[in-house]
Structure formats: C-alpha cells, structure tokens
Chain A
Amino acid sequence: MKYSIQCQPSYSVLEAELSPGEQLVAEAGAMAWMSSNIKTTTSTRGGILSGLKRSMLTGESFFQNTFEAEGGPGTIGLAPGSAGDICEYELKNGELFMEKGAYLASTPDVKCDAKFDGLKGLFNEGFFVLRVTGTGTLFFNSYGDIEEIDVDGSYTLDNGYAVAWEPTLQYQLTRSKKIRAFLFSDQLLMNFVGRGKVWVQSRSPRTLSNWVHPFRPQKPRESSN
C-alpha cells in the first residue's frame, strides 16, 4: 500500500493507493473520495460486543468499513471529523494506547479495542482508552496540532490533550498538589512516568464542547399542566 498524508498540518487527509485485493480499514464516515472500483464492506470487526464496547465506551464508530480495490488499483481519501493532523505508526506485534476518537484507519491486521483503565486516582469514575495491537500500519488523528514528546522521567499533561502513548509509559491521574488549586480548580492532570513517546494535541475536544454549548439548540420546554 502506498499512501501520503496531504494538506498537513491543520486539515490533513490520508490518501492511500490500494493494489488489487489490498485492504484498508477505517472508522465509519471517514471516506471523502474514492475510485469507483473500490468495494466497501461494513462490519463490527470482532463481533457485536467489540463494536459496542468501542462505540459506547470510547466514542469510536460501532461499525468499521473495509475498503478493497477490485480488478485494478484504486485510490481512497480519508478525512477525520475534527480539524487537525494525522500520524502514522508502524506496529510489529506491538501495542499502542490512544485516547477515544483518535483512531482513523489501519491495515487489516491491526486490532482496535476498548480498554478500561481502572481507577487511576481519586475523583475519577474510571477511564476508557483504545488499545491497538497487531502488526501493520495505524493512522491516528489529533484535534489541532500534534507534537511528539519523548518522555524520560516524567511529564504532565492536562487530561484531554494526550492522543496516544507507548505502553512503556505509565500514567497516573492527579490534581495539583497545592491545596487551593486542588479545591478551586477542576483541572485533572495525566502524569506520565517512564521512558517512551507520548503524542500531544494542541486543543481539547472537551473545552470545545463547553464553548459550543450555548450555540446548541434548546430542548423545547415541556408544558406543565
């Protein structure tokens, strides 16, 4: 499979050229354009439970599409929902963790599942992340610019800005140690410890969802009689 990531970094798209019989898996709704000889198969990939887990717990799509070129090479363009960049990551019997919403596409031998990350600290009802395993190429996307940080020791991120991290890193959800900040700030921090890479996006989907709140339509009030 030949591919290129175009229009980087703000509104990146992935364009892949598939040889006959070659497959690319993508989250539902990501197809922007494709040659007319590309066949689409829609499935849950790994059963209904896997699809449910993925969609309910991590905000990814219940169904995934598999694109395959038939009778000749074909080209497909994939675009994420949010503005931002796309990263590629090679897995060789490997593992990578991602925040929900970060999965865009992968070659067929890469598996994407939801994982409950337990009670990582107080005041937190638990945390679901995506666990990607297998062998092949993975494409993930960020909201905003993306930066790769090599952690050696420890590094702190605000919750909501981590896109992906290598399994050699451990993290803990914390608050500021200062008592005032602890009481008056709702900032939840992710403290990464160990040695490995973490990909950080420069904007937060949660902050945007708060900002857009007043622009959403109001639910009509039920009459009380």
Chain B
Amino acid sequence: MKHEILGNPDYGQLSVELGPGESFISEGGAMAWMSDRMELESRMMGGFIKSIIRKFAGGESAFLVQYSHPTGGSVTFSPATPGTVLHRQLNGDSLILTKGAFLGCTSDINLSVKFGGWKSLFSGEGAFQVVCSGTGDLFFNAYGAVLEKEVNGELTVDTSHVVAWEPTLDYRIGGMGGLKSTLLSGEGLVLNFSGTGKIYLQTRTLGGLAGWLSPYLH
C-alpha cells in the first residue's frame, strides 16, 4: 500500500493506493473519489455495542468501511472539516484520539473505545476516546493547523484544541485558576497534562467557529 497526504494544512486529504488483495479501513463517509470497481464493506468497530456508543457519544459514524480492489486501485479520503491530515506509524505503541479525529488505518491497527471518566463528560470533548494500538499506519485529522508539543512537565490545554496524545502522558480536568475565571473566562474546562510525551493540538476548534459566527446569525 502506498499513501500520500495532500493539501496540508489548508485542506488536507489522504490518498491511498491499494495493490490487489490489500485493504484499508476508513471512517464511514470519508471517501471523496476513487477508482472504478472499488469494493466497499462496512465493519463495526469492536462489536455492536461499542459501535453504537461510538456513534452517539463519540460523534463518529457507527461503521467503518473496508476498501479493497481486485486488481488494484486508489481512494482519496477527506475529513468533514478542512485542516490537517496526520500520519503516525505504530510499532506496538499506542495513541489516544479525541472525538472525530480518526480518519483511517491499515488493517492491523486495533481500535477500541475508552470512556474518559465521569469528569470528562463535563469537558465537552474527550468523554469517549479512541485508543489506537498495534502495528501499522494510522491517519487522523484536525480542524486547522496542528502543533505538536513535547510535554515535559506540565501543560494546560483548552479541551477542544486536543486532537491526540501519547498514553505516557497523564491528564486531569480542571478549571482556569479561580471559580470566577473558570465560569467567565470563556475557556470552560481545561486539561492539565503532565509527564513526558507528545500531544497534538489543533489551532482551530468547531466550538470556536460557532461562537465567532453567532453574532452574525439572524
């Protein structure tokens, strides 16, 4: 399988070229264009119940799609929001993705849904996380550009800017300083990451876009 990421960071896309017998798994509905006679098969992620949870709590589609082609062909995928597409090769390690970040993977990657704890329900994002592990290629997407931050110590992050992080990092959900700032700062809850590891931050959020657009609506 060959892959190419095009158009980053303005409007990133993933193009995958499959040989005969090879397959690729993507988020449902992400295909933009593809070779003729491509074979699609829908799959559930980790069983029926988890798929349903993922759909309603994680904001992702319940089904994943497996693509293959008898003689070889190509598929181009687009995330729902414009921004950056990222690639990460997993070699037995894992990566945690937030809501809506998963785009696609090779078939040897394991995906499982993890509940982030009751507190995470109030954080808006990240109540359900997708843990990606195994060996293979993982692709995920972000709204806007992406900054990769190496945390060594502590970092405070607005919840909706988090796309993914390495499981070597610990986090707790907190407010912005005092009660007044937590309630009125417009930041809501933040995530305090600690430890050593990488975190992927997106430079725009859908909530931010909605908030900015609201005064113009009629």
Q: Does B106 contact A (CB under 8 A)?
A: no
A28 to B207 CA separation, bound complex (whole angstroms): 13
- Binary CB contact string for chain A from 1 to 44 against chain B (1 if under 8 A, 0 otherwise): 00000110011110000000000000111111111101111100
Q: Is the interface of B mostly helix, strand, loop or mixed?
A: mixed
Residue among B145, B155, B204, B218 with the highest chain A CB neighbour number at 10 A:
B204
* A213 CA to B217 CA, complexed, in Å: 8
With a CB–CB cut-off of 8 A, which chain A residues contact B185?
A: 28-29, 31, 40, 42, 63, 65
Q: Does B53 contact A (CB under 8 A)?
A: no
Q: Is the CB of B216 within 8 A of A11?
A: no
**Contact assessment for B203 and A7 in the assembled complex, using a CB-CB cutoff below 8 Å:** yes
Other-chain residue from B9, B157, B158, B184 in contact with A11 (beta carbon distance below 8 A): B9
Partner of A101, one of B154, B181, B205, B212: B212
Number of interface residues of A (CB under 8 A): 40
Partner among B82, B83, B177, B211 whose Cβ is within 8 Å of the Cβ of A29: B211
- Return B107 CB to nearest CB of chain A, in Å: 32
* Cβ B203 vs Cβ A12 within 8 A: yes
B189-206 to A contact mask, C-beta < 8 Å, 1/0: 000100000000101110
From A6, A79, A205, A216, give the contact of B204 (CB < 8 A).
Answer: A79
B10 to chain A, nearest CB (A): 5
Q: Quick check: A28 and B215 within 8 Å, CB to CB?
A: no
Docked complex Cα distance between A166 and B208 (Å): 28
Interface residues of B in 116-154 (CB under 8 A from A): 144-145, 147, 149, 153-154
A81 to chain B, nearest CB (A): 3
Interface centre among B9, B149, B184 (most CB of A within 10 A): B184
Q: B201 near A80 (CB under 8 angstroms)?
A: no
B residues less than 8 Å from A80 (CB atoms): 208, 212
User: For the complex, is A93 an interface residue (Cβ under 8 Å from B)?
Assistant: no
How far in angstroms is the closest Cβ of chain B from A89? 20
In the assembled complex, the Cα of A7 lies from the Cα of B201 at a distance in Å of 12
Once bound together, how far apart are the Cα atoms of A129 and B48, in whole Å? Answer: 54
Q: How far is the CB of A71 from chain B (nearest CB, A)?
A: 13
Q: Are B203 and A79 in contact (CB under 8 A)?
A: yes
3 nearest CB pairs, A to B: A81-B212, A28-B186, A59-B215
Footprint of B on A, CB under 8 Å? 6-7, 10-13, 27-36, 38-42, 59, 61, 63, 65, 77, 79-83, 100-101, 205-206, 208-209, 212-213, 216
